[in-house]
Amino acid sequence: MKPRTPIYITIAIIFVILFIVYYMFVQNATFLSSPYFWGTVVISVILALIHSAIGDLIENDKFKKLSAAEKEEYLNSKKVPYFKSLYESAFKKQSSTEEKDILIDHGFDGIMELDNQLPKWWLGLFWFGVCYCVVYLMSYGLTDFAHQGKEYDEEYKAQTASIAEYMKNTPPPTIDNAVYSADNIAAGEEVFKTNCVSCHGDGGKGGIGPNLTDNYWINQPEKTLFKNVFHMVEDGSPNNPTMQAWGKNGVLTGFDIQNVAAYVYHINQEQSPITTAQGGAAPQGTEAHWEK
């Protein structure tokens, strides 16, 4: 007769399993204050106590039927603390004298196969894995637990919200505080492709509007190139309404203008001009001498 698992171990295991199940279905630890969780714990503990009491009755009954030597052996085995005997049984090896009993009638090249017991720690892990898998599959199938798609959506929403919040609290740049940044060129190129390319051509080579890659400018209201572009896009051309006031008309925000101005600065200063020979529009206006 083997000593039984102590009731407090059973209760601890029940608690851990209930915790995992609840955690996977609720997906946060708020259930710890829910009466449902504690109700399930109490009911499970009561069932475990009943189970243990019945076990005691059966054990007593069996004990009476044992021989004196068996009784002695059983009482001794009960004296070993539970965790010690668990540890020992987990790493127990079959003795070589038992080999003949577990020999399987199957060999190859003189090597015989033994039907060794699986180590207890291995079996424990295996069954834990099986139970965990069932709970996991159920919660994965029935709830939103561990779905990357949903996690992505949530993070995406949180980030969009924080960007919106940032934009709301950050006033858009104005001509006074806008600055050139190489980081804005890519976003500026998008603004340019959407709003400007129809008149200023691919890469700013010019068309209905002037070539923006050369050093000749009709309008030079500002001293630096970056601010000049910002000014023109914000206010439009004073002499030619074809170039509208994108900022003042509310078509583009200060952020868009700062970006597109960075892009125009980039194609004008950091790339060579697109000449007439390369399909660019002829220079218009006077040569500019921008301050740095």
Near ligand HEC in 195-214, by CB under 6 A: 195-196, 198-200, 208-210, 212
Task: Select from 21, 185, 243, 281 the one that contacts ligand HEC (CB under 6 A).
Answer: 243
> 106: part of which helix (H) or strand (E)?
strand 103-108
Q: Find the binder of ligand HEC among 24, 185, 233, 267 (CB under 6 A).
A: 233
Distance, in Å, from the CA atom of 84 to the CA atom of 79, rounded to the nearest integer, reads 10
- Contacting range for ligand HEC; rule: CB under 6 A; set: 37-45, 84-92, 241-249, 266-274: 241-249
Stretch that binds ligand HEC, among 44-52, 106-114, 120-128, 190-198 (CB under 6 A): 190-198
Tell the smallest beta-carbon distance from residue 135 to ligand HEC (Å): 57
Min separation Cβ 147 and ligand HEC, Å = 42
Query: Rounded distance, CA 149 to CA 156, Å?
Result: 10
Note whether 180 binds ligand HEC by CB under 6 A. Answer: no
Q: Name the minimum Å distance from CB 250 to ligand HEC.
A: 13
**Which run of H or of E encompasses 58?**
helix 35-64
286 binds ligand HEC (CB under 6 A): no
Binder among 24, 175, 232, 281 for ligand HEC (CB under 6 A): 232
Residue of the chain from 22, 31, 180, 217 that contacts ligand HEC (CB under 6 A)? 217
Smallest separation (angstroms) from ligand HEC to the CB of 278: 18
* 100: Cα separation from own chain's centroid: 55
Cβ count near 269 (within 10 Å): 13
Contact between 260 and ligand HEC per CB under 6 A: yes
**Burial 102-140, CB ≥16 within 10 A → b, else e:** eeeeeeeeeeeeeeeeeeeeeeeeeeeeeeeeebeeebe
The residue among 22 and 203 lying less far from ligand HEC, judged by its C-beta, is 203
Structure tokens at 26: 């609720």
Our finding on whether 246 is near ligand HEC (CB under 6 A) is yes
Q: Least Å distance between CB 163 and ligand HEC?
A: 22
Backbone angles phi, psi at 217, to 5 degrees: -130, 135
DSSP string, 74-86: HHHHHHS-HHHHH
# binding residues, ligand HEC (CB under 6 A)? 25
Coil/strand/helix, residue 286: strand
For the bound state, the minimum distance from the C-beta of residue 255 to ligand HEC, rounded and expressed in Å, comes to 13
Question: Cβ–Cβ contacts within 10 Å for residue 256, how many?
Answer: 23
- Please report whether residue 22 would count as binding ligand HEC according to CB under 6 A: no
Interhelix angle for 254-269 vs 225-235, to 10°?
140
35 token code pair: 């009466």
Q: How many CB atoms are closer than 10 A to CB 70? A: 13
Report the interface residues with ligand HEC, using CB under 6 A: 195-196, 198-200, 208-210, 212, 217-219, 229, 232-233, 237, 239-240, 242-243, 246, 260, 264, 284-285
